[in-house]
Structure 1
Amino acid sequence: MKTLFLFTLILQLACFIFAKTNSLSGNRVLVILDKEEDKKEYSIFFKSLKERGFDLSYTTASNEKLEIIKYEESLYDHLILFAPETDYYENDINAKQFIEFIDKGGNILLAANENTGTIIQDLLYEFGAKVDEPKFTVFDNFVHNSTTPNVLAIEELENKISLDKLEAPVLYYGTAIKSSNKNPYAKPLLVGGPAAYSWDDTVVNKAPLVTGNNIVLVHTLQAINNSRIVMTGSTKMFTDKYINSPVKINDKTYKKSGNLDFITNISKWTFQEKKVLKVVSSKHHKVGETERPEYYTIKNNMHYEIEIAEYNDGVWQPFNATDIQLELIMLDPYIRVTLKQQPITNPNSSTYAIDLMVPDHCGVFTFKVDYRRYGLSWIKESDVIAIHPLHYNEFPRYLIQGLPYYFGAFSMLVGFIIISILALYHEDDSSNNKVNKEASTKKKTN
C-alpha cells in the first residue's frame, strides 16, 4: 500500500514538473471568482485549461491574500476574471493595477453580466467599452435557442480572430457591451443579430438604447505590447450547463452547443497559444555581397530579407502573407515596397525579400518592417543606416540630359577657334589699297 502511494505521489510530481503549456507567455493563471462555489459551474472549461498545461490558482475577490503584482513583478501570467458582481477587490486591487498587469505583458479574460460591479465597469472603460444598464440583458426574438427563448444562439463570427467558423451555435445570455469605436486596437468578435436588443424584464415601451449589430457580445483588444484581452458580457457562456446544452434553431438541431470550442479558441488566443508572430532574422546588404555595409551610397542596389514564423498550438510554422511592406524612412517614407515571399525552405518559418535601389537622397535612414494585422501579434523590425552621396571620383563624366549644354559649349569653342584663325591669318588685297589711297588724294587736291 505504501509503495502504491509513493508511486502515485512520484507520478503526480513528474506530471507537475514535466507539464508543458503551449502558451508563450507562461502557464500561471489566476482565476478570480465572486464566490468559491462558483468554481463548480465552470469545471469543464477549467479542466480544458489544465489539460493544456496551465497551472490554475483560484481565489475570490474578497480574499485578504489576493495579490497579482508584488515588488513590481507579476505573480501570474494570465488572469481570468469571473467576479463581475464584486464592487470591491481586496488589497486595493482596481482597474489601475489590472492595467499595470497588462503593461507588464499579462493577458486577461474577463466576463461581465447584468449585475456588473464598479471594478469591471472601470476596467472596461479603460478598454474603450462599457456594459449596458443594470439588469439589462440581450434578447433576439428571431435567433435564439428554441428550448430557452431568452438565450441567444450566435452562428457567425464578426471577426475571424481565433477560429475561422463556428461548428455549432454559441449560446449567450448576458448583458450588452457597447464599444466607443475609438480604440483602434479593439475589435468585436461576436455581435448581436439585426433583431437583437438590450432590455430588462419590463415591457418594452420605447426604443432600446442599443440594438442590432451595435450590441457587442464578445470584445477583443490587443495592446501595443501584444498583451491580449477578451471581454464578454456573459459568465454563463463558460458554464457546464451552456457547454452541454442542446441547441435548436428553426429546423436545425445540435446535440451540443459550440460554446466549448469557442471558449477554447478564444482562451488560446488570449493566452498566446496561437496567432503569435516573431521575427527570426532580418538582414540587408548590397546586391552581390553578403555582409551588412557600414553605409550605402545613393543609387546602390540593395537586397533586404526578413524571416518570420507563426506560432500555433505549440508549433512554429511558416507565416503566409502578401501584404508585408518595407519602408525606408527619413522623417517620411522615401520608399515603401511590398516584400515578396520566397520559396519555403525552412519548415518553421518563411522568408520575404526584395531587391531595390536606395533613395537618391543622402542622410540617416531607418529600414523598417512594421506589420500590424488584427488577430496576429504585432511585429516591428528596424535598422538605422546612413546613405552617403557619391565621392568626387564616382560621378559620371557625361550625362545624356546635358547634351544640349555640351553642344552649346563645344560650338562656342569651335566658333571662337575659327574666328581667331581668320583674324590671325586674314590679309587685305594690296591693289585695292592703292586705288583707295589715290582716290582719297584726288579728293583732297580738289
Structure 2
Amino acid sequence: MSTLQLIFLTAIPFLATLCSSFSPEHPTDPRILVLLDDLAIRSSHSIFLNSLQSRGFDLDFKLADDPKISLHRYSQYLYDGLILFSPTVERFGGSIDLAAIMDFVDAGHDLIMGANSSASNLIREIATECGVDFDEDPGAMVIDHISYAVSDTDGNLTLIASAEFIQSEVLWGSKKIEAPVLLWGIGHSSNTTIMCWVSWMVIVLLSLRLDWIWCISFEHCGVSLESKTTI
C-alpha cells in the first residue's frame, strides 16, 4: 500500500462561495462511498473517517478494484458523495470509471480525493478534469522560501507553516484554529477556467498523512481562488 502523505488544501488567502452540500457540521447528504487502495486505510486514517461518521455520514467502504461497485442502479444514484483514498489505482472495479465519476460530480454530488507522489494516471486524469494538474515529476514538492517551518531539519523548505487560511464556521465549526497548520505536498497547477465553476471545500486532515486532498461540488458555483497551497 502506498503511504498517503499529509496534505492540506488551502488558500492564502482566497475568496470563495463555499458549497453547503457537504457541510461537515450538518450533513444533509449522508451516504458516502469510500474507495480504498487497501482496507488498512480505515485504520491509518481513522481520525478523519470517524469524524465524518460522528457527524452523521454513512460511509460505505469498498476496495477500489471491487468488481461489484457502482455509483448508481437503474439510473438512480446510490450515494451522495464519493471519497477516493486510492491514489495508486489504475482501474476501478465494477461500472466506475473516469466518465462515471465526472457524471456523478456533474449531477451535483460531492467528491473528496487524496493523492500522493505515486498517483496513478487515472487519479491524475480525474484531478485534471476537475481543474488541477499534478507535476509530471513525482518528486516535485511545493517549496516556500519564506513561510517554511523552522523546525524542519532537512533544509529543503518543503515543510511549510501557515496561519493564513479562510475563517469559516461552515468548514471549521465554531472553534477557531489558533496554531499554524503545517503543509507538505506535491507540486501542481490549477486551471482557473475550470475552477471558476467548481466549489472548493477545505478539509483539515491533521495527523492523517495525506498528500493532496480536496472536495468539490458543482451544486454551488461562483468561486474565486486567488492562490492555494497544499500539504
TM-score normalised by the shorter chain: which range applies?
0.5 to 0.7
- Residue of structure 1 equivalent to 2:134: 131
> Does 2:230 correspond to 1:374?
no
- Residue of structure 2 equivalent to 1:182: 193
- Residue of structure 2 equivalent to 1:22: 26
Give the alignment of 1:338-357 within 5 angstroms. Answer: none
2: distance between equivalents of 1:184 and 1:88?
A: 25
Counterpart AA for 1:167: E
1:184–1:120 CA distance, 2 compared to 1 (3 A): closer
- Residue of structure 1 equivalent to 2:123: 120
Contact 1:112 1:120 in 2 (8 A): yes
Deviations 1:359-383 (A, max 9, x none): xxxxxxxxxxxxx6538xxxxxxxx
2: distance between equivalents of 1:181 and 1:75?
A: 31
> Does 2:99 correspond to 1:91?
no
1: distance between equivalents of 2:180 and 2:202?
A: 19
Residue aligned with 1:144, SS = coil
2: distance between equivalents of 1:54 and 1:158?
A: 24
- Residue of structure 1 equivalent to 2:164: 156
1:141 to partner: Cα distance: 4.2
- Residue of structure 2 equivalent to 1:80: 83
Structure 2: unaligned runs, 5 residues or longer:
1-24, 225-231
Relative to the length of structure 2, the TM-score reads 0.68
Say what the alpha-carbon RMSD is for the aligned residues.
3.5
- Residue of structure 1 equivalent to 2:13: none
1:107 to partner: Cα distance: 0.5
- Residue of structure 1 equivalent to 2:6: none
1: distance between equivalents of 2:55 and 2:172?
A: 18
- Residue of structure 2 equivalent to 1:442: none
1: distance between equivalents of 2:217 and 2:195?
A: 21
Structure 1: unaligned runs, 5 residues or longer:
1-20, 187-220, 223-228, 244-262, 278-371, 376-446
Deviations 1:73-105 (A, max 9, x none): 211111111112212111252221111111332
1:121 to partner: Cα distance: 1.3
1:136 to partner: Cα distance: 1.8
2: distance between equivalents of 1:54 and 1:74?
A: 16
Decide which of 195, 207, 211 is 1:240's aligned counterpart: 207
Residue aligned with 1:116, SS = coil
Higher relative contact order (CA 8 A, sep 6+): 2
Deviations 1:141-161 (A, max 9, x none): 442334445422222127968
More strand by share: 1
1:109–1:115 CA distance, 2 compared to 1 (3 A): same
Give the alignment of 1:3-402 within 5 angstroms. Answer: 22-24=26-28, 26-133=29-136, 134-149=138-153, 150-157=158-165, 162=171, 166-183=177-194, 185-186=196-197, 221-222=198-199, 238=205, 240=207, 373-374=222-223
Contact 1:43 1:240 in 2 (8 A): no
Contact 1:41 1:239 in 2 (8 A): no
Which structure has the larger Rg?
1
2: distance between equivalents of 1:142 and 1:122?
A: 32
- Residue of structure 2 equivalent to 1:330: none
Counterpart AA for 2:118: N
Contact 2:196 2:222 in 1 (8 A): no
Residue aligned with 2:159, SS = strand
Contact 1:109 1:231 in 2 (8 A): no
Residue aligned with 1:109, SS = strand
1: distance between equivalents of 2:185 and 2:195?
A: 25
- Residue of structure 2 equivalent to 1:198: none
Contact 2:32 2:57 in 1 (8 A): yes
Equivalent residues, number = 190
Task: Give percent identity, aligned residues only.
Answer: 27
Residue aligned with 1:102, SS = helix
